[in-house]
Amino acid sequence: MASNSNEEKILERLDQIVKILALQVASERSITEGARLLKIAGLDNRTIADILNTTDATIRSLTSNLRAKPNKTSQKRKVVSDD
C-alpha cells in the first residue's frame, strides 16, 4: 500500500512540473497562442484552461482549428504536388 501512496505522490509532483513548464511556454503570449502551443504539446483542454485561468470551452474554441479538416485549396495543392 505504501507503493501506491508513493506513486500518487510522484504523479502529483509530475503534474506540478508539467504545469510549471506549461506556464513558462505560455508566459508573455496571448491566450490564443498559449492555448495552441499547449494543445500541440499534448495537454488536455481542462489542464490548459487551469494554466491560463480560463474555461475549457474557451480553450476548445481557440484550438478548434488545429483539428480542422483541410480546405479545398490545400487539397488542390496536394494533388498538384503529387504529379
Cell of 46: 481542462
Q: What is the pLDDT of residues 45-68, one digit of tens each?
A: 999 999 999 999 999 999 998 875
User: 0.75 exceeded by the pTM?
Assistant: no
- Intra-chain end-to-end CA distance of the chain, in Å: 62
Cell of 42: 499534448
Please indicate whether residue 43 or residue 72 has the higher confidence score (pLDDT). Answer: 43
